Amino acid sequence: GEDVEQSLFLSVREGDSSVINCTYTDSSSTYLYWYKQEPGAGLQLLTYIFSNMDMKQDQRLTVLLNKKDKHLSLRIADTQTGDSAIYFCAETPPNDYKLSFGAGTTVTVRA
Amino acid sequence: DAGVIQSPRHEVTEMGQEVTLRCKPISGHNSLFWYRQTMMRGLELLIYFNNNVPIDDSGMPEDRFSAKMPNASFSTLKIQPSEPRDSAVYFCASSLLGGDEQFFGPGTRLTVL
């Protein structure tokens, strides 16, 4: 399988921007995803980006994709306490159902 | 729609006992996935069903694990006999088609003593 790597922890002050980084190894990946997991809950799809895009913005979320470096990032503007969660990066190759997840980044928002 | 439904939400059992986890996918979805989440190994895909047929069970850890999908609205994951190392959160997810967005259930937290 292919590896998806993320840093494990991020602490950010309320109101600041959060940037979560991810690297992947499968250059054929079609879609790259960001999932959010709140305590005691399942994973919720936050956003995704198609591999032929460089950037996608959705309200407070900005996804940047550097396909050359196989680097994906998620920026959360004006981070709120409700953004405290584990964020998973995931990829899927073309015509495949398998999601390869990173280990998850635990984001803690402090007042 | 109520989303993916899993039961029970929490299960505590003793080593050697049989454990059955249940999942009801979103109506109309034809793909169903079982995942296991642990601190050590993160999220692992155990098995994938398409149109009620198991397509990929390569992630099932060993023969103690089995999964069934008797119809489009119900699936079970059974562990027999259970062992302490099976303690984890088990997620069920469904999608409209195999490569589409997966919707996750709330998970079943299993503790084997």
Mutate to test the interface with A, among B43, B100, B108 (most CBs of A within 10 A): B43
pLDDT score for A100: 87
pLDDT tens profile B2-29: 899 999 999 999 999 999 999 999 999 9
The residue type found at B68 is K
Residues of B in contact with A95 (CB under 8 A): 99
Going from the first residue of chain A to its last (111 residues), give the mean pLDDT of each consecutive group of 10, the final group possibly shorter: 82 97 85 92 91 92 94 96 95 81 94 89
Token match 């994938």: residue?
A: B48
Given an 8 Å threshold on Cβ–Cβ distance, is B48 in contact with A104? no
Per-residue HEC secondary structure of chain A comes to CCCEEECCEEEEECCCCEEEEEEECCCCCCEEEEEEECCCCCEEEEEEEECCCCEEEECCEEEEEECCCCEEEEEECCCCHHHCEEEEEEEECCCCCCCEECCCEEEEEEC
The burial of A8, by beta-carbon neighbours within 10 Å (0-12 exposed, 13-18 middle, 19 or more buried), is given as: exposed
Given an 8 Å threshold on Cβ–Cβ distance, is B91 in contact with A44? no
Given an 8 Å threshold on Cβ–Cβ distance, is B102 in contact with A44? no
Q: Number of CB pairs < 8 Å for A and B?
A: 44
| Nearest by CB: A97 against B31, B42, B91 | B31
Given an 8 Å threshold on Cβ–Cβ distance, is B107 in contact with A41? yes
pLDDT score for B20: 98
pLDDT tens profile B33-90: 999 999 888 899 999 999 999 999 999 988 999 999 999 999 999 999 999 999 999 9
pLDDT score for A27: 75
Distance CA B22, CA B92 (A): 9
pLDDT score for A30: 80
A21 at B interface, C-beta within 8 A: no
Which residue from A62, A108, A58, A102 is spatially nearest to A85, judged by alpha carbons? A108
